[in-house]
Structure 1
């Protein structure tokens, strides 16, 4: 039976041939698996791709253990990981400094940031991780950058709205994200990438006089459907709203727990995906709890406080849950 491979498959195969890093090769193989037609004629090809992918992942893990720490490998912390992308002096480091407790090096000359730097952004009673990354230009794209962006939960694309080349910054960055399959419409299982609704374009330095006109130019000449979020690290314009926006984009909820007969623990919420159930919470608390729990009560989204609910009950942000064994 003929394979009938698609142009998308051959495009991913070509990306694999051009890949330099292990991360890029893994991403290309994931893409090939995602777009290959699923029928009997491609079963051997699929098996070969899975074998090569498994081998590369093992090599990557082995290399990480035996070599020096990879500066582009950022351990996820907090309620979610948010990566920043932008041109030199677009305001990424200043934004991280303004919204977290991190102390990135901020200067007026380009390429101040040479490796990713993470900081924790407070949002109400939780923390969200922001990752500043080395800048991109049309001539220079740091090796390892695509992996940082692809593995994030949310992506912030910063464009200097006060710069004469703001439109060029926007178009190049969007093309890079599309070409590397970092932002993609189809986020199939096993294929890493950022869904379009998990990316936000920040119009940085929006407080300067030329910025409103430049934002309008980007809206008229840039791709349709892009939402520009004006921010200023100097005046604080948009920063508080940005915290709320990031939390909503993460698609997570905070759930508090209580022991029967005691007050709830409101200091350390469990972070779960939106749409999670009582069963998911129990599993998150302890792997044996779903089997042992006899009853669950909810304060918050239930019809009345302390209502007993089934294990498939969908919990909401800031619910309090009591699980009895």
Structure 2
């Protein structure tokens, strides 16, 4: 049964995607639950919303009790097309970078250590959002243990280096050394780790007069130096960055349609690249997967509306009609 969601529901859902605090998320979810049509086709969606509300309320309780309950500020629920953590040393421009890309209220100051807790924002890219998290700076002690654990479960790491700073070489080498020390950076890919090629390295403040000279010094002095993307808050590269981020996440957007209906282009499902028709069915609902008879695909198929196998690998922006 189709969900037939209302404009009021989509408006509340949009507010949830843009929310930056737990309280704002709870209010938006409660509104989604209040306006969602109540029928069998929305049972799973209603259940998912209730679970999210319950989890967020528990976070509020833990936060109010503080360290006595072992609250971990880095235990952040994944949202959107992917979860991305931003790393860097004090005053490298992390907070300004995150604030420029998202609606997050980051604490941008001229003095170091102005960010003491993670700050979550959402980057809009076409019809989806990507979760971007500003973090406390790396210190002489390195990366805290609970922070390291969060990095193991995120989808992507952004490492920022200040190209206006004379210590830019030490910053990049320090990030690499700290990630290796925590066994987060490895030579060969394994679960819950990253290789140099999988991390996006960004050179901030690229509009500084010494920025490109410092970038060349980094390349000259660091063996096997990873590629660094120079960006300033006012550059064209910043405007194009959401697309770069999306492509690096290695995911695909899949639009669905009911028989005889138009595709839903506002709410694509986001799946890992290489996902199949059956993976999509499982993402929507286990009952759909269990009863799936056939599927039709527009986009990557040989011809529009081609009937495909359950094992058919979907491509970005495919339109899929599942028949049960």
- TM-score, normalising length: structure 1: 0.76
Distance between the aligned counterparts of 1:209 and 1:96, measured in 2? 23
Determine if the alignment matches structure 1 residue 107 to structure 2 residue 106.
no
Runs of 4+ in 1 over 6 A off after TM superposition: 63-66
Counterparts of residues 21-170 of structure 1 (less than 5 Å):
67=69, 69-139=71-141, 141-170=143-172
Kept after mapping to 2: 8 A contact 1:96/1:130 = yes
Aligned to 2:174, what secondary structure does the other structure show? helix
What runs of 5+ residues in structure 2 fail to find an aligned partner? 1-61
Structure-1 residue corresponding to 2:298: 299
Superposed CA deviations along residues 54-106 of structure 1, whole A, max 9, x for unmatched, are: xxxxxxxxx99992532121111111011111000101100110001111111
Kept after mapping to 2: 8 A contact 1:153/1:198 = no
Aligned to 1:144, what secondary structure does the other structure show? helix
Superposed CA deviations along residues 238-292 of structure 1, whole A, max 9, x for unmatched, are: 1123211111111100000000011111100001010111111111111122221
Counterparts of residues 224-243 of structure 1 (less than 5 Å):
224-233=224-233, 235-243=234-242
- Structure 1 141/283 Cα, relative in aligned 2: closer, same or farther at 3 Å? closer
Determine if the alignment matches structure 1 residue 313 to structure 2 residue 312.
yes
Cα distance, 1:142 vs structure 2: 4.1
Superposed CA deviations along residues 105-154 of structure 1, whole A, max 9, x for unmatched, are: 11000000001111001011100000111001335644522122222111
Distance between the aligned counterparts of 2:104 and 2:257, measured in 1? 33
Distance between the aligned counterparts of 1:140 and 1:193, measured in 2? 17
What runs of 5+ residues in structure 1 fail to find an aligned partner? 1-62
Kept after mapping to 2: 8 A contact 1:90/1:160 = yes
- TM-score, normalising length: structure 2: 0.76
- RMSD of Structure 2 on Structure 1 (CA): 1.9
User: How many residues are aligned here?
Assistant: 260
Distance between the aligned counterparts of 1:143 and 1:290, measured in 2? 39
Distance between the aligned counterparts of 1:309 and 1:140, measured in 2? 50
Aligned to 2:201, what secondary structure does the other structure show? strand
Counterparts of residues 171-190 of structure 1 (less than 5 Å):
171-188=173-190
